Structure 1
């Protein structure tokens, strides 16, 4: 099974449940629920199978759902997250974490024994800003997730050009800032993905499209920025440069192409076998494949493939890494791709209509 989130304010159905064909992994839509407004991002608790969703609204909230043969059943009312415009969430032990974009904060909500949400939320407010006049006037937390060890929580902030590392208080569930790593000013980091080996992570940037390779030190909870791979406005890639470079105006950082297309990277996925990294790019509407054959710290662009629709907001891989699923928000569909086992290149394999699609997660 997979779940697809969508914007109800843009004509979406809320959360759609779909079955996955065991042979082709094509999707068949089964049911949907609009019990939560604008459930733009979803997360599954792997221990319980319960589904959690954010409501990306001014009064941000989160909801819990139990899968049943008839569809999803809400586990109690939605709970306020203490922030506005939540865009991402994840499960960390017995806490639900949300990244609140508009208010620039990260929230932690307790999970009851049966998976229900309760409040009040413990909220950690980010501080700072960036050079972009309209997008970085204040913090804008875009993603929050635990590291592979489960000891730390990392949050990516587009407004402050940084990745924060927090520790979770075991008694209260509140987040305590442990450290912050600055990335290049004005790049607008959006999401990160860990390499499966656990000692590297990749950050994709939205304002100046690029991929940054970072070393992760789980023992000390420290993120160390490394090489950058700029992404061109057409979805292409420029040569790797060091993170400390003062060069400006890369191909991806300005209006590019004869038609003025601008690249807005959105989602990032590392393959389970650690051989590839895939990135979705809006505007150019493509999926990029980066090979890690030269080493996980040296991603190399090897293919650029159309996403099958418009404005790919999210990208997900099946648990085996054999297929990719793109949630195309503006064209209102989810497209899936077979992944070449040798090159990692996605090949279009099918699609299904899901209005205002924003997120895809596997049950």
Structure 2
């Protein structure tokens, strides 16, 4: 049942001066046999009141586990874990035209990522390239975009051009997770604000890689990397609105590591690492971290804990990258693989991959704390929650 606090929050949001403003929100899913998902789903979300409509199928897709958008055109891009013509695992990114009235999707073709298990996709700010992280292959692909947002074929998958293979050399290193760190596992890919650097979290190598990006040619060039604690398992990366501070959520040891990004030198410097759970949680068996996001106001940071099924709330201290632990909020959604902050920064939506639901939380702009709105909608196996930027 919704708490009294949630009712008070809802009442404040529904004041006479509040005007409804609906925007579409899409949900990427796992369409493997044991799930009921058929592809990508869409709902309308009110960024003023926090109300959400019943999600409906927007477009049929194969395992669209992560979504991204063209910065100017009504085009959505989805990762696709597929089986190739030879019956072996393969990976692709598929482009979809968005019906701006309904949010429904129409395929505009797919292109290979040159690797297997694509789990993350992003688009640069000018809409010139799409980048994908191939988890199983331990590599990163860069595909050019046509003027209409359609995907161009990957130029090369042999380690040159628009493709970078991460190398694995951890012989004799102690503390490695044997099940998850037996080889490279690129888990996310992000682009620097100036579009010259690609940031890749590699869970298998405990490193955050920086690759040079040429958007005109859709090519990548390896540069340097930042080493994290052995066994950390870096998963996703979040850059502060100022473009200089950043944080990485570490899946395996349930921590967040702070970074300073030097744009001029194209360099990351690691700082403090903090836990995503309070000390009172001593048994963390089966727990892991998943998503991380900075609030648009630049004052707060959030990360999700799977198993514990919560979102940790941090205050970003002043102009530093130091984090002050505020607490954890239960997601009321099992296995929160992903969450998203709605446009305007008033609400957060968390997806429960194992409970087939999405829950809505109000964000206090002054304290950064989350309050459950009493809203939960059914979505089959939600693995990504995405609003258009």
Question: TM-score over 0.5 for the alignment?
Answer: yes
Cα deviation, 1:272-317, whole Å, max 9, x if unaligned, reads 1111000111010001000113553210111211011100000111
Q: 1:76 aligns with which of 108, 112, 122?
A: 108
Partner of 1:19: 44
Larger mean CA deviation between 75-84 and 305-314 belongs to 75-84
TM-score (norm. length: structure 2):
0.84
Q: 1:41 aligns with which of 55, 66, 70?
A: 66
- What pairs up with 1:126-137 in 2 under 5 angstroms? 126-128=166-168, 131-137=176-182
- Would you say 1:324 and 2:348 are equivalent positions? yes
Q: 1:113 aligns with which of 134, 142, 147?
A: 147
Partners of 1:237 and 1:301 within 8 A in 2: no
TM-score (norm. length: structure 1):
0.90
Partners of 1:32 and 1:71 within 8 A in 2: no
Partner of 1:288: 312
- What pairs up with 1:99-178 in 2 under 5 angstroms? 99-121=133-155, 122-128=162-168, 131-178=176-223
Q: How many angstroms does 1:189 deviate by?
A: 0.4
Cα deviation, 1:190-211, whole Å, max 9, x if unaligned, reads 0110111111110110111111
Partner of 1:90: 122
1:7 and 1:206, CA in 2 relative to 1: closer, same or farther beyond 3 A? same
Partners of 1:62 and 1:81 within 8 A in 2: yes
Q: 1:208 aligns with which of 214, 239, 253?
A: 253
SS in 1 for 2:90: coil
* Structure 2: 5+ residue stretches without partners: 1-23, 83-88, 156-161, 171-175
- Would you say 1:60 and 2:91 are equivalent positions? yes
Larger mean CA deviation between 120-129 and 180-189 belongs to 120-129
- Would you say 1:271 and 2:295 are equivalent positions? yes
* CA RMSD of superposed structures (Å): 1.8
Partners of 1:191 and 1:205 within 8 A in 2: yes
1:285 and 1:138, CA in 2 relative to 1: closer, same or farther beyond 3 A? same
Aligned equivalents of 1:165 and 1:193: distance in 2? 14
Aligned equivalents of 2:40 and 2:90: distance in 1? 19
Partners of 2:48 and 2:346 within 8 A in 1: no
Aligned equivalents of 2:50 and 2:95: distance in 1? 26
1:322 and 1:125, CA in 2 relative to 1: closer, same or farther beyond 3 A? same
Aligned equivalents of 1:295 and 1:288: distance in 2? 21
* Structure 1: 5+ residue stretches without partners: 239-250
The alignment of Structure 1 onto Structure 2 pairs a total of residues equal to: 342
Partners of 1:333 and 1:354 within 8 A in 2: yes
1:326 and 1:22, CA in 2 relative to 1: closer, same or farther beyond 3 A? closer
Q: Which runs of 4+ in 1 moved over 4 A?
A: none
Cα deviation, 1:153-206, whole Å, max 9, x if unaligned, reads 111100001111111234531110121111111110001101111111101101
Aligned equivalents of 1:295 and 1:171: distance in 2? 34
Question: Larger Rg: 1 or 2?
Answer: 2
